[in-house]
Structure 1
Amino acid sequence: MGNLKNAAIAFLAPLPSIFFHLSFLRHYRLGYSFSSPPPSDGLWGWCFHHPLLLANALFFANVDVLFWLIGVLLSNHWLIDPYWTVIPVMLIHYYASHPLAKADAARSAVAVVLTWVWSIRLTHNYFRRERWQFGAREDWRFNEMRTEYGRPWWWISFFAVYLSQQIFLIGICLPMYAIHSSDKPWNIWDVAATIGCITGIVVAYFADTQLYEFVSRNETLSKSGEPMVPNLDKGLWRYSRHPNYFGEQLWWWSLFLFAWSVGQGWMFVGPLVNTLCLAYVTVLVERRMMKKAYREDAYREYMKTTSVWIPWFKKTSEVPKAKSS
């Protein structure tokens, strides 16, 4: 019953912004034409002339405020996690459908398809990890902050969980806006962006699958009373401590190349901020890994020999040699 309730919440939660945008498009198509553009005043006129501001306003009202209220009522801010995989799809379709949108048809189509593939991959990984349950648990980082802040967490969560997500998501999705703000023809940078995006998706998929299989195997060993394997050091994880993070970063930086190809190089700030944030998360994850006594020594050795993000060959561990008698 709880899973069905949370599933209903997840499907209903984004409807206000979807209905608002559809109402705007309907109003525009019925009331205006390119020979008679909408006025600059009034709600619909503002929506017409400010697509990026409208995206932020809808995000603030529907995600920051509504999702936050749902999280406070449920005492669980799980809803933002699955929507990290959905909001970019919603944003790219919003930018593509806005009346002011203009884009090279090939660039737009490729970006839309790639965003859907990225979203399906990440959504599948999220629900596989959560055993196909809606709202079964909260992100461990939010849970730790809940414990750390105590009673004030109900209002701190608005800024820490939701408003911060708006900055990250709108920022890293800026190339989707750039793609639909220029009809500059397809070029070599678009080819590089496409190859990079596909590579990032593939790397992240295999890394997450290998991690899922490792965790599942350890859960089975734990239930049977057998010692668990202390560390994942196979497949892509042999060459990188966080190949899933590397694949995800490769996706976002490659998406930025689409913005570069239409002359919007300043949009590198989006993936840069995301990378800096992920660097901090990496530190938190590795500290958490070493809190478990059965894997602490193995993970320390793993850190000495294995690249953090970018897959690379193993380093030789500097083990002191025994002195000869």
Structure 2
Amino acid sequence: MTFDSSNFLAVTGLSLLAVVVLMAATAVVGARQGRVAVVDTTWGLGFVVVAVVAALVGDGAGWRRIALVVVVAAWGLRLAWHVTRRNAGKGEDPRYEEMLSKESGNPTAVAIRKVYLVQGLAVWFVSLPIQVSAASGPGIAWVAVLGLLLWAVGLTFEAVGDAQLKAFKADSSNKGKVMDRGLWSWTRHPNYFGDSCVWWGIYVVAASAWPGVLTVLSPVVMTYFLVFATGAKLLEKHMGERPGYAEYRERTSYFLPRPPKKA
């Protein structure tokens, strides 16, 4: 079986439509709640929706379609649940407050243009390896296995890092302190590093069959957002003034894990 371009067009078109519907529903919920931050929950769910559409509509290798929908659902549903619990009872995210404060006009219209539309397009573009894979032939199995192993490393980093940070914050004696234990002593952003590995792993699975290798810009874009745009860079700006963070930054790797420097 070779790549079916007409089937890919059906997969990518329906994926885009599904993401548009999901983001439109999120915009309605956000407007009613007065919180753009609801989109953070939708972010993970958007990829799950695309993976399900690709698995149902695609006519490529069945085992790979099933594998991808399973790993994407495991990652996306965990992330959505984690974000929902983290944001429960809180107000607007400072990032969105700052963004909306710089724009004139109706806040909902601004949010649709600057947040929901941008994130919807990002979900569709980053998930292109899944969409292409759904219309591709069997490919090379051992390459796909390597991709799944990389995905597993990423999910472990992300889930363990989030759990360690949650436990740290739950201890009242740590209030005002900088989390520098566990995975957080090896990298200042284990969750973002894990997220990057997840999407590079998914890309490798897709690259196991032609023309999945051509979707390399998708994990590149995701990594760029995680490292330089909306992820680690913004968090560093927010944390930079916290007491002890400058010292933590000196001894701990920014993104790629490595043993911490001695004080």
Taking structure 1 as the reference length, the TM-score comes to 0.71
| Alpha-carbon separation, structure 2, partners of 1:129 and 1:72 | 20
SS state at 1:272 partner: helix
| Alpha-carbon separation, structure 2, partners of 1:251 and 1:48 | 23
Question: Residue 261 of structure 1: which of 198, 201, 208 is its match?
Answer: 208
Kindly state the Cα deviation for residue 66 of structure 1 after the two structures are TM-superposed: 4.1
| Alpha-carbon separation, structure 1, partners of 2:59 and 2:139 | 12
- After superposition, residues 56-71 of structure 1 pair within 5 angstroms as 56-60=16-20, 62-71=21-30
C-alpha distance 66-130 of structure 1, shift in aligned 2 (>3 A):
closer
The answer for the alignment partner of 1:280 in structure 2 is 229
Question: Residue 158 of structure 2: which of 185, 198, 204 is its match?
Answer: 204
Taking only the aligned residue pairs, the percentage that are identical comes to: 24
The answer for the alignment partner of 2:186 in structure 1 is 239
Question: Residue 251 of structure 2: which of 293, 301, 305 is its match?
Answer: 305
| 1:178–1:262 contact (8 Å) kept in structure 2 | no
Kindly state the Cα deviation for residue 94 of structure 1 after the two structures are TM-superposed: 0.8
Kindly state the Cα deviation for residue 117 of structure 1 after the two structures are TM-superposed: 1.6
| Alpha-carbon separation, structure 1, partners of 2:260 and 2:127 | 34
Structure 2 unaligned blocks of 5 or more: 1-5
Kindly state the Cα deviation for residue 179 of structure 1 after the two structures are TM-superposed: 2.0
1:89 aligns with 2:36: no
| 1:121–1:201 contact (8 Å) kept in structure 2 | no
| Alpha-carbon separation, structure 2, partners of 1:80 and 1:240 | 27
Question: Residue 117 of structure 2: which of 163, 177, 188 is its match?
Answer: 163
1:173 aligns with 2:127: yes
1:289 aligns with 2:239: yes
The answer for the alignment partner of 2:218 in structure 1 is 270
| Alpha-carbon separation, structure 2, partners of 1:158 and 1:185 | 39
Cα RMSD over matched residues? 2.4
- After superposition, residues 101-180 of structure 1 pair within 5 angstroms as 101-131=58-88, 136-149=90-103, 151-180=105-134
| Alpha-carbon separation, structure 2, partners of 1:288 and 1:252 | 26
Amino acid at match of 1:274: M
| Alpha-carbon separation, structure 2, partners of 1:47 and 1:74 | 39
Amino acid at match of 2:219: P
SS state at 1:311 partner: coil
| 1:200–1:251 contact (8 Å) kept in structure 2 | yes
| 2:19–2:50 contact (8 Å) kept in structure 1 | no
Kindly state the Cα deviation for residue 112 of structure 1 after the two structures are TM-superposed: 1.9
C-alpha distance 58-109 of structure 1, shift in aligned 2 (>3 A):
closer
Question: Is the radius of gyration larger for structure 1 or structure 2?
Answer: 1
Q: Deviations over 1:235-261 (max 9, x none)?
A: 000110001100111001110112211
| 1:47–1:54 contact (8 Å) kept in structure 2 | no
Kindly state the Cα deviation for residue 151 of structure 1 after the two structures are TM-superposed: 4.4
| Alpha-carbon separation, structure 1, partners of 2:176 and 2:39 | 32
Kindly state the Cα deviation for residue 191 of structure 1 after the two structures are TM-superposed: 0.8
Kindly state the Cα deviation for residue 160 of structure 1 after the two structures are TM-superposed: 1.5
Structure 1 unaligned blocks of 5 or more: 1-45, 222-226, 318-325
1:52 aligns with 2:12: yes
| Alpha-carbon separation, structure 2, partners of 1:107 and 1:164 | 29
SS state at 1:175 partner: helix
| Alpha-carbon separation, structure 2, partners of 1:47 and 1:261 | 18
Kindly state the Cα deviation for residue 67 of structure 1 after the two structures are TM-superposed: 2.9
SS state at 1:103 partner: coil
| Alpha-carbon separation, structure 1, partners of 2:102 and 2:25 | 24
| 2:23–2:120 contact (8 Å) kept in structure 1 | yes
| Alpha-carbon separation, structure 1, partners of 2:161 and 2:129 | 25
| 1:240–1:309 contact (8 Å) kept in structure 2 | yes
| 1:81–1:139 contact (8 Å) kept in structure 2 | no
C-alpha distance 150-209 of structure 1, shift in aligned 2 (>3 A):
farther
The answer for the alignment partner of 1:75 in structure 2 is 34
Higher relative contact order (CA 8 A, sep 6+): 2
